[in-house]
Every structure is written in structure tokens, then in C-alpha cells.
Amino acid sequence: MDNIKRRTLLGMGVLGASALIAPRVLYAASSSAEQHEIPLWSKPPGGNGPDGPERTNAKGSVTNISRPRLVVYRPERPDGSAVLVIAGGGYGHIERGSESIPAAQWLQSLGVTVFELVYRLPGEGWSNIAPFQDGQRAMRLIRALAPKYELATNRIGILGFSAGGHLAGTTAAEPDARRYQAIDAADQFSARPDFAGLIYPVLTFMPPYDNTRSRREIIGKNPDLAASEEFSVERHVTSGMPPTFLAQAADDPIAPIQNSLLMFNALKAAQIPAEMHVFQDGGHGWGLGKPDSQPRAWPGLFESWTAHNGWIKKA
């Protein structure tokens, strides 16, 4: 009887630990690790952009973007993997302070070389495809720079939050779309990531799930169905889509949970390896996850998923 109790308690302990997976380190980027910027373009296509300097508010949200770029976070002991990290903000601003910077620092602490994308916004004088041009160009630049950063070219992923999830998903689903004219040798490289993480993503612009700022900023308030379908990620999933990780809260008031459900079903229909985590509550915009919340588990789950598939080396 004592043995049965012991085994039961041990089993409960294992289940409890697996249910509370959390990132080992959340914000602890090494002060000695290298960080620098790479411009995406000498002259960005698709408009003239905003006047005046870039603006960042007290929460780290960025607007007035005329210099699309990659911010590179190099770990002290890189494992050869890389991730392009993209914050959201409804294509009206970029939530660097609460999303892409903390995520970049966390991944950097795991040994990942991180490229944080600062992309252009359509409402600031740029074309509505400017963010997608930037996402595609960013992936190609990372692949072109793989020898310099000692990256394994089969271990380069993409991670996006909210509207950044839409941008990441679009880049992953349509890497070969002709979004701009090639400008240099980097544009001969593939824009397809090897894996994708989509966190509380906006993915569909189709009714009745189309009441998002992302949809309004990209295709306007009254688009036709053809335009909505053109920018709905789940409608463009093919056998070429990379394996995908999804995480979202069931009570998300900004991006309905159907975004992830539709995407997961599209991935399974195309026989793409996929993992999805739906949290009972948590809302939207939780970044790495607030303390004592269910979404706090997602970074650990993502780390385990990438390690299981051999993209990131789990220490």
C-alpha cells in the first residue's frame, strides 16, 4: 500500500512539473553579449515613410518608423540556431518593450542568435505590403549572413506576437511571394523559416473574425472578400509551410481563439507538424507571460518543442 501511495505521489509530481513548465531565464541577457543593428534596405520600397525621428513611449512601443532594421542579440555561447522575433501592435505601432525585446533576451540566454525586426507601418506613409516586404527581406538577410554568425542553415526560425504573428505567419506561408524587386545577392536566398512560433496571433482577416486593427490597417475598414482572403494566413498553408507552434488564450478579446484553431486545422490538413496550446484564460498581449498566469508556461513549452525537433539545443 505504501508503494502504491509513493508511486501515485511521484506521478502527481511529474504531472505537476510538466503542467507548470516555465522558461529558465526570462530577461537575463548577458551584459557582455554583443548587440548591434543591420539595416534592411539602403532605400526601402513602397512609399516615402514618416517625417521626423522614430518615437518610443514609456512602455517601449515604437512608431514613426523610417529605418526598418534588424537588432541582433548574440549570445556568449551560441548554439548555431537563430530566430527572427517580431512584436505586434496591430500594424499601428510595435510593442518592442513588452514583446520582442524580452523575448529576444530570453532566447539569447538559451544560446540562440536573435534578430529582432523593427518593421514599417502602413499608416505612416508606407505601402500596405511594407511590413511583408520587411519580413521577407529580413529572413533572406539572416540566411545570407549565416556564415558570419555561424548559423546552421536548417535551424533558423521565426517567432511573432499578435500582428507580429500575422507577419511571421505570412512570411512562413508565402516565402516566395514576389513582394519587391531583388536588390542584391541576399535576395537569392530563401525567406522560408525552418520553424515558426505564433503567439496570440492575428491570422485570419475573414469574417466573422475580422474585427481587428491589423485587418483595418492592412486592407481597410470595408475590404472585399478577395482582399480578406489574400491576407488570411490560414488560407495560404501548403505542404511547404514549416512546422508551427501556436499559443493563445481562450478568452483573448483582441484576436479570437478561432485564429489559432483555423490555423491548426489548416496545418493538419496540409500534414504540417504542429503543436498548439490553448490556455483557459490570459487575455491578449501577455508577452512572455505574467507571473502566476497560465500563459507563463508558453516559453518553456516552446523551448521544449524546439529542442524536441532539434532546432534549439536545450541545456
d(CA 125, CA 171): 22
Which pLDDT does position 93 carry in this prediction?
98
> Does 291 sit behind a cis peptide bond, omega within 30 degrees of 0 on the bond before it?
no
Which pLDDT does position 7 carry in this prediction?
31
From 251, 256, 261, select the one nearest 209 (Cα to Cα): 256
Half-sphere exposure of 223 (CA within 13 A, CB side): 21
If you ran DSSP here, which 8-state letter would residue 246 be given?
Answer: E
CA angle at 289 for the pair 142 and 149, rounded to the nearest 5°:
20
39 and 71 Cβ atoms separated by less than 8 Å: no
The set of cell numbers assigned to 143 is 540566411
From 169, 166, 149, select the one nearest 72 (Cα to Cα): 149
Which pLDDT does position 314 carry in this prediction?
74
Which pLDDT does position 315 carry in this prediction?
63
306 and 157 Cβ atoms separated by less than 8 Å: yes
The SS3 call for residue 152 is coil
pLDDT in tens, 235-283: 999 999 999 999 999 999 999 999 999 999 999 999 999 999 999 999 9
d(CA 249, CA 260): 10
- Residue found by looking up cell 496545418 in the block: 267
232 and 258 Cβ atoms separated by less than 8 Å: no
pLDDT tens per residue across all 315 residues of the chain: 333 333 333 232 322 323 333 333 334 444 345 679 999 999 999 888 999 999 999 999 999 999 999 999 999 999 999 999 999 999 999 999 999 999 999 999 999 999 999 999 999 999 999 999 999 999 999 999 999 999 999 999 999 999 999 999 999 999 999 999 999 999 999 999 999 999 999 999 999 999 999 999 999 988 899 999 999 999 999 999 999 999 999 999 999 999 999 999 999 999 999 999 999 999 999 999 999 999 999 999 999 999 999 999 876
